[in-house]
Amino acid sequence: MFDCLSVKITYNLCNLSVPCNSRVLMLFGQLEKLNRESMLVDPEIARQITAKVLHLIQTQEKTRKEIMSKGSSGMEVILATLEVINAKNRAHMIGVFVSKGGTGILLQLVISASKESPPSEEVMLQLHSVLAKVGPKDRKFGVKARLNGALNVTVNLLKQNLQNHKLLLPCLLVLQVCLPSAVNAVSLGKNGVVELMFKIIGPYSKKNTSLLKVSLDTLGALLKSKTNARRAVVHVPVLLYIYHDWHRNDTCHRHILIRKGILGCLKNITNIKLGRKAFIDADGMRILYNTSTECLPVRTLDPLINTSSLIMRKCFPKNRLPLPTIKSVFHHQLLRVPAGGPVAQLYNQPLGVDDVVDESDDNEDAEAENEVEEKDHHAGNDDIETDINKLRPKETHSRPFEELKIYERFFMELSEDFQVMQYIFLCLQFNNSILGGAFIFLVYTCTSVGSAPIRPQFLPWTWTPSTSPRTKMEEGGEGAVLQVPDTALLLPLHDPDLYVEMVKSTCSVPQFSEVAYPDYFGHVAPTFREHILERVYGVQRTKIFQDIERLIHPNDILDKVVYDLDIQSCPVIDGGESLKFNSQFESGNLRKAVQVRKFEYDLVLNSDINSNHYHQWFYFEVSGMRVGAPYRFNIINCEKSNSQFNYGMQVLMYSVQEAISGRPRWVRTGTDICYYKNHFSRSSIAAGGQKGKSYYTMTFSMTFNHKDDVCYFAYHYPYTYSTLKMHLQKLEALRTPQTYLREDVLCETLGGNSCPLLTITAMPESTSNDQICQFRNRPLVFLSSRVHPGETNASWVMKGTLEFLMGSSPLAQSLREAYIFKIVPMLNPDGVVNGNHRCSLSGEDLNRQWQNPSPELHPTIYHTKSLLQYLAAIQRAPLVFCDYHGHSRKKNVFMYGCSLKETVWETNISATSCELHEDLGYRTLPKILSQMAPAFSMASCSFVVERSKEATARVVVWREIGVQRSYTMESTLCGCDQGKYKGLQIGTRELEEMGAQFCVALLRLKRQTSPLKLRNHAHLLDVESDLMETRCKVSRSDTHTPSPGHSLTRTLTDKLTLIRSHTIPLTNNKPYMVH
Ligand SMILES: [Zn+2]
């Protein structure tokens, strides 16, 4: 551009009349000479000369007047010199020029020149050419130009020279430089510049394309101001016409920038509501849709398609979700509705607040076409706690010990003397009464008691408790015979019959009476690798265009409701034209399914109970599919602004046909997966006072392989409350005489489910005082999980932990001998049962209630915290507290901890004012994990305390209970981008392995915290570290997926068992017992 604007000027020395100042004259003479030899100009010499001229002009009023006086060509010489120099060494010279106050002088020159009548066109042209190049280097250019009046001169010049294209161009360029300033934009708009631009731009023409391009860019910049956009609304049809005209005529795509410029103007006008309306009225959707579709084959036109798509999405009329209300379809009446908070708010809302009015004039442009990953909470945000008092241990106004004393019953091991109970398996029966109930020990005799197990009913693929299986089988004929895959060997903790038993005692708000097949059959992790998907180019665009087609071709849309929980009798499905949906089982949460096209369905998820949002988790059943048909599913009421579905994560599918063929498993599936903002939204009132919020679509496509199949789709590997109960029962069966396992009922939930509390440790080696003393004094490790029901991965990690702890390996025995484990494996059973994503039945996020939990509304949190308070009161606060979670936006497994120092460092609080003494011990456990657990990433860990997290378990246990090693362990829902599993999606095997390795890490921690106490097991730890090193070496070079069962746990176990059985006795007193 610079070159084409260069002005070649010839000079006649005779015309140069600078009479009385010989110094200036001399300098100009030198410049003239340089200019004539422009190819040879030494910028440094020229710079020195101009600097001297500038100095004279700045310091001598007389000189300035002379140079600017009519008839003097001094100014032209300067400008020409600038041109020449700039062309040679632009960036540097302009920088020097600006720093010496050059722009101010040039602007002053504009004012002076404008006073001539008529102003010299040549001077104005040159001045503006130079200003257009100098301006961008001067950050205050726009303000300077406005304040000294030069901006007005330029505008007037434009108005008077609309046909003078040579002059228009540099003037427009100068305007552009001034436009980033909002004040300038508004002032120019008032001055009629928007209208002026519409006089310059026009339909397709090969002439003056550079002028058109600059005009469009200037107009686009002007329209960023909403006031200006309002002025331009009437021109929307013109812009659309011009765009279409260029699209039609620019067949060789030489003028993409002009076409983009027109779209840029439309994009800015449609930021306001009036603009969107004008766009729709002018048939903008159809015009941009058609032009974009025609552009699709040419890759270089992508910017046009992307901007068109952005405009169309913005203008797509906002709509409410196809629901009578966005409040949860199921209601749970709370005995006491809290006075404030989200639930109270929800139930005080007037009817019909969900109706969406597109009232916002918000610029929604922030969302780019290719969404950028949401900033992590810990990356330099303003959420970090800066109040040093909130980072210090809380002043203890803890509850009186008398009140906490009732929790003593959950810590029998601390007073147990084993005189009577020795070698008797202990079991606390599930106790339905809350804390007041009697505490009963039973001698455990057998695992299955009572009547013969009831088999599931197989019609229609579900189980109802009222009907006997035999009858059903007769009715259903041969087709109804169901083979149950024999998974007993592969899944030692799974038992279909036991699962059904467990379901019977599970209380759900919708009173589910069916069992989903995946939960009944169980899941055997596949042995093949499941890679993180590479995103196919243009997928999101294609999906969005298909959505826009709904508006363009409304007649193609079926809009047939095929599943609807809001209507008592779900619509009857006709002869095989539609899929059948169902989610009336534990953890299911599909609310509505609408058939949009023959093979496309919009799905609406249910809100968390007693809430009107939190949609992310899903779990539903599909049947009646056609083999090989390309189905597309859209979950249309997602809420998060981004998702790992945009970064390679797939949905999970479970096929019953596959299961009965011997492959009972969830597999990652789906193609063309993406996640984007859609045209559904809710009102600001429904959104709890925030701006009206848009929903997002998660879409995936898939073809089914089996006829008459029943398939299940889920956000992540389901893990129901009934599954937990089944696993706990099966774990009891693993108990050996050396294992101390007790299962208490911590409390009952709002929904009437029991919250189990486990105590696991090793039995004392003898009843000698020493041994009993050692037993009672073992440090405690407190673990919890699944406070967020949608984070099912947390349960799989917990399963791995529990299985390892109850295992027969020498490491497990050492671990049990080293610690007393207190575990609450499911902090939110009600949420899990009812298919919630985030909340409990109180409609609240339980992990934001730890500061002041209510015994009525948050019983599991209240009593879990009480256990910890009791421990603190008896000086037995746990060594480690860890709450397992799942993370929806990040990869790998990692931990959040709490550190006063690291928080202070992040926030620049004056650290000198407070003495910071802090043990770095909180880093040890994550460090160990990063060395041994392949999915774990130290780089993703953070130890900063955020304000928004002050009521979470991690922060409250750290601050109030005084547990230095208080963590949240977050597992990805997607996969890993480092370590051995790099590039793979996470599966249950990796999650369970993580849980097991957490245990092994605790053993290492034990060694590092108290090496002397473990002297007896030193040999074991050597073997352990030896193995870990070997494994690390292997993992670096080994590119193969580990075969099933060859996780670290198994390897360690095998090797250690081998060593143990041949040589070393575990303890000094007793031989190791094998079970
Ligand atoms: Zn969570």
Residue 412 lies inside a defined structural domain of this protein: no
Of the candidates 992, 885, 986, which has an alpha carbon nearest to the alpha carbon of residue 652?
A: 986
For the chain, how many structural domains are there in total? 4
Of the candidates 1001, 652, 590, 949, which has an alpha carbon nearest to the alpha carbon of residue 793?
A: 652
Q: How many residues does the chain have?
A: 1075
Of the candidates 868, 875, 1013, which has an alpha carbon nearest to the alpha carbon of residue 954?
A: 868
Residue 469 lies inside a defined structural domain of this protein: no
Taking the centre of ligand 1 as the mean of its atom positions, its distance from the CA of residue 988, in whole angstroms, is: 18
Taking the centre of ligand 1 as the mean of its atom positions, its distance from the CA of residue 237, in whole angstroms, is: 49
Taking the centre of ligand 1 as the mean of its atom positions, its distance from the CA of residue 403, in whole angstroms, is: 30
For residues 728 and 825, give the distance between their C-alpha atoms in angstroms, rounded to a whole number.
Answer: 10
Residue 997 lies inside a defined structural domain of this protein: yes
- Per-residue confidence (pLDDT) for residue 361, from 0 to 100: 47
Residue 560 lies inside a defined structural domain of this protein: yes
- In the block, tokens 């101001």 appear at 225
- Per-residue confidence (pLDDT) for residue 353, from 0 to 100: 65
Taking the centre of ligand 1 as the mean of its atom positions, its distance from the CA of residue 407, in whole angstroms, is: 27
For residues 469 and 375, give the distance between their C-alpha atoms in angstroms, rounded to a whole number.
Answer: 53
What is the CATH classification number for the domain harbouring 840?
A: 3.40.630.10
- Per-residue confidence (pLDDT) for residue 1016, from 0 to 100: 46
Whether residues 696 and 733 fall in one domain: no
What is the CATH classification number for the domain harbouring 706?
A: 2.60.40.3120
The pTM for the full model equals 0.79
Taking the centre of ligand 1 as the mean of its atom positions, its distance from the CA of residue 495, in whole angstroms, is: 29
- Per-residue confidence (pLDDT) for residue 39, from 0 to 100: 54
Taking the centre of ligand 1 as the mean of its atom positions, its distance from the CA of residue 850, in whole angstroms, is: 14
Using 70 as the pLDDT threshold, list the residues of the chain that sit under it.
Answer: 1-22, 35-43, 64-90, 351-381, 395-397, 419-482, 570-575, 688-692, 908-916, 1010-1075
φ, ψ (nearest 5 deg) of residue 627: -65, 130
Taking the centre of ligand 1 as the mean of its atom positions, its distance from the CA of residue 788, in whole angstroms, is: 5
Running DSSP on this structure, what letter comes out for residue 698? E
Whether residues 648 and 747 fall in one domain: no
Taking the centre of ligand 1 as the mean of its atom positions, its distance from the CA of residue 846, in whole angstroms, is: 10
Taking the centre of ligand 1 as the mean of its atom positions, its distance from the CA of residue 163, in whole angstroms, is: 65
Whether residues 674 and 727 fall in one domain: no
* Domain encompassing residue 943: 721-908+921-1008
Whether residues 826 and 926 fall in one domain: yes
For residues 744 and 429, give the distance between their C-alpha atoms in angstroms, rounded to a whole number.
Answer: 7
Domain boundary among 683, 714, 745: 714
Residues in CB range of 662: below 8 A, 6 or more apart: 485
- In the block, tokens 């919630």 appear at 836
Residue 587 lies inside a defined structural domain of this protein: yes
Taking the centre of ligand 1 as the mean of its atom positions, its distance from the CA of residue 887, in whole angstroms, is: 7
Whether residues 743 and 688 fall in one domain: no
Whether residues 629 and 760 fall in one domain: no
Whether residues 747 and 878 fall in one domain: yes
Taking the centre of ligand 1 as the mean of its atom positions, its distance from the CA of residue 129, in whole angstroms, is: 59
Of the candidates 677, 587, 667, which has an alpha carbon nearest to the alpha carbon of residue 640?
A: 677
- In the block, tokens 């770095």 appear at 920
Residues in CB range of 276: below 8 A, 6 or more apart: 270, 314, 315, 358
For residues 371 and 644, give the distance between their C-alpha atoms in angstroms, rounded to a whole number.
Answer: 12
Average pLDDT, the chain: 81
Distances in Å between the Cα of 679 and the Cα atoms of 365, 581, 884 are 14, 24, 35
Which sequence positions are flagged as catalytic? Answer: 970
Taking the centre of ligand 1 as the mean of its atom positions, its distance from the CA of residue 640, in whole angstroms, is: 14
Residue 162 lies inside a defined structural domain of this protein: yes
For residues 674 and 693, give the distance between their C-alpha atoms in angstroms, rounded to a whole number.
Answer: 20
Taking the centre of ligand 1 as the mean of its atom positions, its distance from the CA of residue 886, in whole angstroms, is: 5
Whether residues 783 and 886 fall in one domain: yes
Taking the centre of ligand 1 as the mean of its atom positions, its distance from the CA of residue 791, in whole angstroms, is: 6
Residue 459 lies inside a defined structural domain of this protein: no
Rg value, the chain, Cα: 37
Task: Find out whether 711 and 647 touch, Cβ atoms under 8 Å.
Answer: no
Residues in CB range of 315: below 8 A, 6 or more apart: 270, 276, 279, 280, 284, 285
- Per-residue confidence (pLDDT) for residue 187, from 0 to 100: 92
Is residue 90 helix, strand or coil?
helix
Per-residue pLDDT reduced to its tens digit, 1000-1025: 999 999 988 764 544 444 444 444 44
Whether residues 739 and 857 fall in one domain: yes
End-to-end CA distance of the chain: 83
Taking the centre of ligand 1 as the mean of its atom positions, its distance from the CA of residue 671, in whole angstroms, is: 27
Domain boundary among 714, 734, 757: 714
Whether residues 636 and 750 fall in one domain: no
For residues 277 and 236, give the distance between their C-alpha atoms in angstroms, rounded to a whole number.
Answer: 10
Whether residues 778 and 901 fall in one domain: yes
Residue 841 lies inside a defined structural domain of this protein: yes
Is residue 532 helix, strand or coil?
coil
Whether residues 732 and 700 fall in one domain: no
Taking the centre of ligand 1 as the mean of its atom positions, its distance from the CA of residue 826, in whole angstroms, is: 12
Domain boundary among 988, 1008, 1028: 1008
